[in-house]
Amino acid sequence: MRAELIDGAAIAAQIRSEIARDVGALAARGVVPGLTVVLVGEDPASAVYVANKEKFAKQAGMRGDTIRLAASTSQAELLALVERLNADPAVHGILVQMPLPSHIDPDVVIRHIDPRKDVDGFHPVNVGKLLIGHTDGFLPCTPAGVIELLLRSGVETRGAEAVIVGRSNIVGKPMAALLMQPRAGGDATVTVCHSRSRDLYEHTRRADILIAAIGRAEMIRGEHIKPGATVIDVGMNRVADPSRASGSRLCGDVHFDSAAEVAGRITPVPGGVGPMTIAMLLQNAVRAAERSIT
Ligand code: GUN
């Protein structure tokens, strides 16, 4: 392996300790940041994510609550709960875990959350603020975590060719907006590729910074990467692996072993971007609490 590993787990732990310090300072002013996560239904992957969010919120000294609702919950019932949380002064951050059951429209739910409590950064007000470059909104956690990884690993984004593979509202689009902002962690020349891109790998081979967020297991291999590039793997895919006792393993959108022979720096899966997402969520919740008293 030639590439240096970007250890997202270690960087996220460092950020969580900084957050715990900020939580202590807020507590001294009589405010305990409160994060409430709403989980509708029993999706097993979502249940694991939600449990981790609550665990790390509590570890940082915050109030972490999870409200679990049956999969049969109606959209009206969920909206009524969101309204109650919007009005509750002890709740500074609200996160409704996605995906929602198919009878609930996620856009309606997101638009119902008070933008000042939208710690996911999914509300159109916060999406707009990100695009304009206003810093008083909330950044979506996964792309914000990627920028933090780049900054803390000393990766120069200014003037760099950054290529994002994936155009989702949660990762690809906000990632592009962040990388093009005129500030530290931005100033990159950004290309966004997707499933309809012609000559996809022509683009990936030009990238100084390659961000894979397509949701297709190990689609990017060493031969698609510019030597020395920084590779950030946002993918989280479960694939069959008969050699494991569980019969499966987690992998990213990047084929790690071949990519690590070519890249200069690379994030692993798991232990790369994933832990950063939760750290950024806690940071948003602390900001929400700070803003509630200023
Ligand atoms: N499901 C998977 N990732 C996320 C996330 O970042 N936020 C929410 N609300 N749901 C998710």
The predicted model gives 122-130 an average pLDDT of 98
Distance 123 CA to ligand 1 centre (A): 13
Using a 6 Å cutoff on CB, does residue 214 contact ligand 1? no
Amino acid in position 291: R
Q: Which atom of ligand 1 is nearest to the CA of 140?
A: 6
Whether domain 141-273 has CATH 3.40.50.720: yes
**Of the candidates 258, 220, 223, 217, the residue with the CA atom closest to the CA atom of residue 238:** 217
Beta carbons of 119 and 281 less than 8 angstroms apart: yes
Burial 165-174 (b: 16+ CB within 10 A, else e): bbbbebbbbb
Tell me which residue has its CA closest to atom 2 in ligand 1.
98
Tell me which residue has its CA closest to atom 1 in ligand 1.
98
Residue 283 has pLDDT above 90, yes or no: yes
What percent of the chain lies above the pLDDT cut of 70? 100
Residue 261 has pLDDT above 90, yes or no: yes
Distances (CA, A) of 85 to 79, 152, 292: 10, 34, 14
The predicted model gives 128-157 an average pLDDT of 98
Q: Which atom of ligand 1 is nearest to the CA of 98?
A: 10
Using a 6 Å cutoff on CB, does residue 213 contact ligand 1? no
Using a 6 Å cutoff on CB, does residue 236 contact ligand 1? no
Distance 235 CA to ligand 1 centre (A): 13
Written as six digits, the tokens of 268 are 């692993």
CA distance 190 to 114: 31
Q: Where are the domains positioned within the chain?
A: 30-115, 141-273
Instruction: Evaluate whether 30-115 and 141-273 have a shared fold.
Output: yes
Q: Could you read off the pLDDT of 38-93 as tens digits, one per residue? A: 999 999 999 999 999 999 999 999 999 999 999 999 999 999 999 999 999 999 99
Local confidence band at 1 (pLDDT 50, 70, 90 cut-offs) = confident
Tell me which DSSP letter residue 118 carries.
B
Residue numbers annotated as active site: 53, 97, 120
Residue 294 has pLDDT above 90, yes or no: no
Q: What is the pLDDT of residue 8?
A: 98
Q: Which helix (H) or strand (E) holds 40?
A: strand 34-40
Residue to mutate, 49, 273, 278, ligand 1, most ligand atoms under 8 Å from C-beta = 49
CA dihedral over 228, 185, 161, 200, signed as positive or negative: positive
Bridge partners (DSSP) listed for residue 95? 37
CA distance 2 to 142: 26
Neighbours of 214 (CB within 10 A): 25
Distances (CA, A) of 86 to 78, 97, 211, 258: 12, 16, 34, 48
Beta carbons of 220 and 165 less than 8 angstroms apart: yes
Tokens 């270690």 -> residue: 10
Q: Could you read off the pLDDT of 150-185 as tens digits, one per residue? A: 999 999 999 999 999 999 999 999 999 999 999 999
Q: Which CATH class is domain 30-115?
A: alpha beta
Using a 6 Å cutoff on CB, does residue 284 contact ligand 1? no
**Of the candidates 177, 99, 197, 195, the residue with the CA atom closest to the CA atom of residue 135:** 177
Using a 6 Å cutoff on CB, does residue 104 contact ligand 1? no
The predicted model gives 189-195 an average pLDDT of 97
Q: What is the pLDDT of residue 10?
A: 98
Distance 98 CA to ligand 1 centre (A): 5
Q: What is the pLDDT of residue 199?
A: 97
Average pLDDT of the chain?
Answer: 97
Name 270's Cβ contacts closer than 8 Å, sequence gap at least 6.
Answer: 236, 250
Name 277's Cβ contacts closer than 8 Å, sequence gap at least 6.
Answer: 141, 142, 145
Using a 6 Å cutoff on CB, does residue 120 contact ligand 1? yes
Using a 6 Å cutoff on CB, does residue 96 contact ligand 1? yes
